[in-house]
Structure 1
């Protein structure tokens, strides 16, 4: 399949998985030679309708230059006109017409148009129904994907702070080892070299990050840092929050990201740097708000739920002078960086002592189920939605979020 058509399928995957009726397409795709019967049977065995739709779209990308046009034709033939129009708008040169019975239509291969210097409107699924086209102009899909095929894909550093020193006045984080084990296995499965460091003081956290920045990443495509600890809200000029060492001294998130910027780690220039922060952003507890009955879903959470909250430090005095100056003086425009927080800045993050934190448990599940088909930002939206449905002690809520400075789509490596 042409690369432009693969990107169209990837960008519309949410709508396709949600609305596609795959069973009605099987005969047409088989008749037109897109799939063999064995391939159809394998797609059918994927499970639910959504699973079959996801598998069908994924497999289409491997089925040659005519597969995209044949998909559009089958969608028209099975009265799935809305999806056909959605895909057609992104590839206007593909012409669809009814096919005679038992006739294979050999549609022309569509070549991508040359790039022009005119302004482009960047597409995203959420804006599909809100963007309007200027008169006489056609929207162009211009988002590309990061290169993510190196083996190994990159380094992943997990800092797991569980047992805190008595003088820190911070409680031990029971359940964090469960989070750590899940994420270690998950990112190994995504072809990362995973290093786990446990119970680090502030100075040791900085040393571990510095050592990571000094590695040669030239043969890698990505770098991941995961922080599992207590946290607090601090003053900042880019990325909010700070993570505590077991000695009770914290490291600002903006300083954590600073170690991997283009100046301190040249071999990661232009490559995605991902930070996942399981820690509180402050001390406020979110009690949520009322929603209509059809929006209410079953929630989880119970007496074992704990928070990673430390009272908010809002004054600039909460940062040591060296940390604040270093972060502000050396952090350039944070391109190719994504920081995913377990909770909204200023609020607590909930952790179940038996099953781990809400955020990590959900992140692990979403990566397992969707990494083969969806990009990272889309999956983080899934995490946001699922965690937002939880409830601690039947009352408190949690809302994850991200600061996203990625320039392209990011698709992890999978064995699927």
Structure 2
């Protein structure tokens, strides 16, 4: 009786969408025909008990289901578990009961927007009955109908991949990760001394034993294809996007070697663009303007000492004058770039260990102006006059993993900034992030596109060119989802 009251309390905390997700993830255990009669969570829990999937002494499947649908709040408050406990449990081979195939489909449904759902329904117009594609049907409903029709199975993802290719390529990457995880299991069987006949005997029906491969940070998933692993990027907010924006140097009387540092006109345009795009990518924006060298250290130390355990990433954008290896505070004092990045190593900032730390720096790396043969000039809407920002070294990131440093230009060369439209590099970066992140492009692919665009621009007055340069110690693909 006590356990029944416990299930009743949980059922009261579940929403309609939660019930649909729970039913979908349980299809391998509770047939669709029986599920059609289930209209509330209490009836669903009754069905689980009848199948001996949940009892007073065994709540593992219930915990897994709540974890899979991201109801960690219920997991904690009603079942005394946690996200960390479930992640450990699901790494144990054979412990998971949710089919990896089923969980893949659920994850895809969670990442599909309303507009993308409309596209899926349109593309399936000739495959499924119109009555099954009305506006009320969810993506889970569509997947269920595709399975009924026989065009979607564990061993046949061809149609699904084709649809995702047309709608959102980032969804294709999730499917490929799933396929690679299954290949990874076969490789592990082989290394454990299994015969080839056993490996060949791993059929679609056996793949539901591989659910642990879809658990976050599963060692088996890492074994499957490390080069295609993707950093976890699901927290809300994703993390902090710290913007250090130094504009006013003249009023502070900043001088270097007897030369006065000019105000950085156009930098506020860059800061606004960065704030806009990283807000869309679900980062918490923290902009600090016109900092002295000491204030820069203090601000960065503040974020070093914050607890980032519930965040997936840290981004720092530096907009200032500089020279080799340093940036300037508005007081003209030097701040070594390496000191700023080193604050966030795993040793110095434990809660960011294993997570990507991204730095974008708008500054020159030298005084030389890069010359080149102009193939095509993209100068629409730009001022004919541009300014430069001192110089900066390209490799001032720690040697340990999970860092990315995006530099505005190559070593020894200037970078350009329009007083009215912002810098070439930051404006191109923000535009490509805004256009490419919804398509699931990873950051290195995006930065390559930024390189291509900026390299085509031309400082007409001095025939100067610019080529950005990323350096990194990332271990996985870094993708910023917009959903």
**TM-score tier (shorter):** 0.5 to 0.7
1:404 aligns with 2:472: yes
Q: Which residue, out of 295, 305, 316, partners 2:386? A: 305
Greater relative contact order structure (CA < 8 Å, 6+ sep): 1
1:288 aligns with 2:372: yes
SS of the residue corresponding to residue 305 of structure 1 reads coil
Distance 1:204 1:148, change over 3 A: same
Q: What's the offset of the Cα at 1:190?
A: 1.2
The answer on whether the counterparts of 2:270 and 2:426 sit within 8 Å (CA) in structure 1 is yes
Distance 1:351 1:297, change over 3 A: closer
Q: Which residue, out of 202, 206, 220, partners 2:297? A: 206
Cα distance per residue 1:302-334 (max 9 Å; x no partner): 432111125x89xxxxxxxxxxxxx9xxx8632
Q: Which residue, out of 343, 357, 380, partners 2:409? A: 343
Q: What's the offset of the Cα at 1:186?
A: 1.6
Q: Tell me which residue corresponds to 1:317.
A: none
Cα distance per residue 1:26-76 (max 9 Å; x no partner): 99854445998789xxxxxxxxxxxxxxxxxxx99xx88938987746999
Distance between the aligned counterparts of 1:229 and 1:155, measured in 2?
Answer: 20
The answer on whether the counterparts of 1:282 and 1:345 sit within 8 Å (CA) in structure 2 is yes
Distance between the aligned counterparts of 1:27 and 1:220, measured in 2?
Answer: 37
1:277 aligns with 2:361: yes
SS of the residue corresponding to residue 338 of structure 1 reads strand
* TM-score in terms of structure 2 length: 0.55
Q: Which residue, out of 449, 460, 465, partners 1:393? A: 460
Distance between the aligned counterparts of 1:27 and 1:385, measured in 2?
Answer: 35
| More helix by percentage | 2
Q: Which residue, out of 213, 237, 242, partners 1:157? A: 242
Q: What's the offset of the Cα at 1:203?
A: 0.9
Root-mean-square deviation (CA, aligned residues, Å) is: 4.2
Distance 1:302 1:217, change over 3 A: same
SS of the residue corresponding to residue 247 of structure 1 reads coil
SS of the residue corresponding to residue 307 of structure 1 reads coil
Q: Tell me which residue corresponds to 2:229.
A: 144
Q: Tell me which residue corresponds to 2:343.
A: 259
Q: Tell me which residue corresponds to 2:481.
A: 413
Q: Tell me which residue corresponds to 1:245.
A: 329
The answer on whether the counterparts of 2:152 and 2:160 sit within 8 Å (CA) in structure 1 is no
Q: 5+ residue gaps in structure 1?
A: 10-22, 40-58, 77-86, 95-109, 119-139, 234-240, 314-326
How many aligned positions are there?
310
Q: What's the offset of the Cα at 1:264?
A: 1.1
SS of the residue corresponding to residue 243 of structure 1 reads strand
Q: 5+ residue gaps in structure 2?
A: 1-99, 109-118, 136-141, 163-172, 192-223
